[in-house]
């Protein structure tokens, strides 16, 4: 468990909260050179995207914006059918365009943001890309779900914060 106090702070704080795991000393560099910002198109993830833009502008940092389509089934055959379907192709094209549309032209003047569309468990894809892409910081939104939801269903943010080897900067959408 993340701990009741830390979990509550992540869920309820009105300001960005950074968690820094002990192994970050070995995996992250200062200033941050590569920022990963996962988005699910919610208000909180779009607020995180804005913060990620600010951080990359100040520090001349690489930025990757990631969206993950979470599979509802663990069956490999279901994944294959979906992956090869017309729905998948259409959805993928529309989602890639939505990701590109999230990046204003002025941001493209100071960095070359990379957009990624992945499939699988959201937190696993975030952590996998952070590890293989040499990410120094993950910036992500928090939905602020109630404690019962988090206990029963888990939380992508909690999973990422608990397992990340780099700092995670989490924030809620402004109210």
Q: What pLDDT, in 10s, does the model give residues 109-152?
A: 888 899 999 988 999 999 999 999 999 999 999 875 555 444 53
User: Can you give the pLDDT at residue 29?
Assistant: 73
Nearest to 76 by CA among 118, 125, 120: 120
The pTM for the full model equals 0.85
Of all residues in the chain, the percent with pLDDT exceeding 70 is 83
Average per-residue pLDDT for the chain: 82
- Domains in the chain: boundaries: 4-172
- For 3-130, list the strands marked E by DSSP: 17-19, 34-38, 62-69, 114-119
Tell me the per-residue pLDDT of 60-90, one tens digit each, with 9 for 90 and over: 789 999 999 886 555 555 555 565 677 778 8
Four-way CATH pick for 4-172: 3.30.565.10, 1.10.274.10, 3.40.50.1820, 3.40.50.620: 3.40.50.620
């Amino acid at each position: 468990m993340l701990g009741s106090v830390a979990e509550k702070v992540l869920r309820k704080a009105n300001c960005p909260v950074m968690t820094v795991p002990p192994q970050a000393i070995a995996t992250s560099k200062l200033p941050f050179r590569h920022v990963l910002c996962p988005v699910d198109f919610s208000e909180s993830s779009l607020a995180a995207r804005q913060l990620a833009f600010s951080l990359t502008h100040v520090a001349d940092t690489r930025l990757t914006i990631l969206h993950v389509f979470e599979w509802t089934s663990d069956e490999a055959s279901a994944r294959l059918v979906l992956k090869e379907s017309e729905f998948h192709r259409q959805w993928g094209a529309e989602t890639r365009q939505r990701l590109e549309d999230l990046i204003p032209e002025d941001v493209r003047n100071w960095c070359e943001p990379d957009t990624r569309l992945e499939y699988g468990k959201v937190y696993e894809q975030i952590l996998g890309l952070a590890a293989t892409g040499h990410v120094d910081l993950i910036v992500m939104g928090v939905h602020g779900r109630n404690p019962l939801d988090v206990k029963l269903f888990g939380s992508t943010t909690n999973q990422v914060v608990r397992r990340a080897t780099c700092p995670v900067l989490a924030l809620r959408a402004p109210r």
